[in-house]
C-alpha cells in the first residue's frame, strides 16, 4: 500500500505544499512591476483552477480521498516554474526560454514536503509534473499514467476556460502573452490544418498566427482522456466559443466539424 493510504500524512503534505505555493507566489508578485504581476496573478489563478479540476476528475473516477488530495496538490504545483520563467524571460514560451515543467520540478524537489514522500510518490510526482507539457504522456506504471492523464486534462480544461474569458470582440486576447504574441492573420497555416484532419493535436512549433493558436487550442480535444473531461468542456461550450471568434473559411469549418464529431463520439461512450 502506498504511504498515501494514511490520510493524516497526506493532509500534512498538502498543507505544506500549499504553503510553499502561496509563499512562492507572494515572493514573485511582490518583487514585480504591475505588468509582470498581472501575468503572475494569471498563472496563480490558473494553478488554483487546475487543482480544482484535478479534484473534480479524481472524484469522477472515484479515487480514494488520499489520492484525491495528492492529485489536487499536483495540480496546484504543476506550474510553479512559470514564475521563475516569466521573471527571467517576460514570456511563457518554453521553446525560446526553458522547459517550465523542469523548472517546476527543480523548485519542488528542494522542498521538505517532497522529501517526506516515499520514493514511489516522489517518482510519480516527478514524472507527472515533468511530463504534463509534453506532446504526449506515457508511463509503464498505471497509477502514474492515470495521474498524468488527470493533470493534462485538468490543465487543458482551464486553458480553454482562461482563453475564452480573455477573448475580445475583435478576436484577440486581453493579455497577448496568452497567445504567445502571435500576429492576427486571417488564414490558418497548412501544417495546423493537416494535423487536425489527421486527428492529432497541433504542435506548438507550427503556430504562425492567432488563427493557428485557436486551432491549436481546439485540437487539444484529441489528447483528452476522460469522459468527465468531455462533459465538462461541452457544458461550457468552450470549443464552440473559440471557433466563433475565428474568421471562417471552408477548411476551418471542416476541421471544426471534425472536432465536434470526435467530441460527440467520446460523449456517447459508456
Residue 226, phi then psi, degrees to nearest 5 = -120, 145
Instruction: Give the chain's domains with CATH numbers.
Output: 3-157 (1.10.3210), 174-267 (no CATH)
- Average pLDDT of the residues in 222-231: 97
Question: What angle in degrees, to the nearest 10, is found between the helix axes of 119-131 and 65-77?
Answer: 50
57 vs 91, higher pLDDT: 57
pLDDT at 77: 97
- Average pLDDT of the residues in 17-32: 92
The residue count of the chain comes to 270
pLDDT digits (tens, 9 = 90+) for 117-126: 999 999 999 9
- Average pLDDT of the residues in 143-147: 97
Rg over alpha carbons for the chain, rounded to the nearest Å, is: 19
Q: Decide: residue 103, CB within 10 A, 0-12 exposed, 13-18 middle, 19+ buried.
A: buried
- Average pLDDT of the residues in 54-59: 98
- Average pLDDT of the residues in 141-151: 97
- Does the pLDDT of residue 1 top 70, yes or no? no
- Average pLDDT of the residues in 85-101: 86
Cut 0.85: pTM above it: yes
Question: Quick check: 47 and 24 in contact, CB under 8 A?
Answer: no
Q: For residue 24, what pLDDT band results from cuts at 50, 70 and 90?
A: very high
DSSP state of 117: S
Name the average pLDDT for the chain: 93
Q: For residue 70, what pLDDT band results from cuts at 50, 70 and 90?
A: very high
Residue 170, phi then psi, degrees to nearest 5 = -85, 5
Cα–Cα nearest to 221, from 209, 234, 210: 234
Amino acid at each position: 500500500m502506498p504511504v498515501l493510504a494514511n490520510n493524516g500524512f497526506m493532509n500534512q503534505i498538502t498543507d505544506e505544499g500549499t504553503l510553499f505555493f502561496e509563499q512562492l507566489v507572494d515572493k514573485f508578485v511582490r518583487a514585480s512591476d504591475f505588468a509582470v504581476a498581472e501575468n503572475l496573478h494569471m498563472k496563480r489563478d490558473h494553478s488554483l483552477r487546475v487543482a480544482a479540476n484535478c479534484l473534480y476528475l479524481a472524484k469522477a473516477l472515484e479515487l480514494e480521498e488520499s489520492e484525491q488530495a495528492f492529485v489536487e496538490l499536483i495540480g496546484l504545483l504543476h506550474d510553479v516554474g512559470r514564475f521563475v520563467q516569466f521573471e527571467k524571460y517576460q514570456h511563457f514560451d518554453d521553446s525560446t526560454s526553458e522547459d517550465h515543467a523542469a523548472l517546476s520540478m527543480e523548485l519542488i524537489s528542494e522542498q521538505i514536503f517532497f522529501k517526506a514522500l516515499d520514493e514511489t510518490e516522489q517518482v510519480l510526482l516527478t514524472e507527472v509534473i515533468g511530463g504534463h507539457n509534453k506532446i504526449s504522456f506515457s508511463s509503464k506504471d498505471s497509477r502514474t499514467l492515470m495521474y498524468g492523464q488527470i493533470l493534462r486534462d485538468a490543465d487543458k480544461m482551464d486553458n480553454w476556460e482562461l482563453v475564452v474569458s480573455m477573448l475580445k470582440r475583435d478576436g484577440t486576447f486581453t493579455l497577448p502573452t496568452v497567445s504567445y504574441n502571435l500576429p492576427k492573420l486571417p488564414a490558418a497555416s497548412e501544417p495546423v490544418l493537416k494535423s487536425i484532419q489527421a486527428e492529432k493535436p497541433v504542435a506548438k512549433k507550427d503556430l504562425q498566427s492567432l488563427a493557428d493558436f485557436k486551432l491549436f487550442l481546439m485540437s487539444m480535444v484529441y489528447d483528452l482522456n476522460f469522459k468527465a473531461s468531455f462533459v465538462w468542456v461541452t457544458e461550457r461550450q468552450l470549443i464552440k466559443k473559440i471557433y466563433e471568434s475565428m474568421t471562417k473559411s471552408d477548411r476551418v469549418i471542416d476541421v471544426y466539424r471534425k472536432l465536434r464529431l470526435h467530441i460527440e463520439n467520446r460523449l456517447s461512450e459508456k
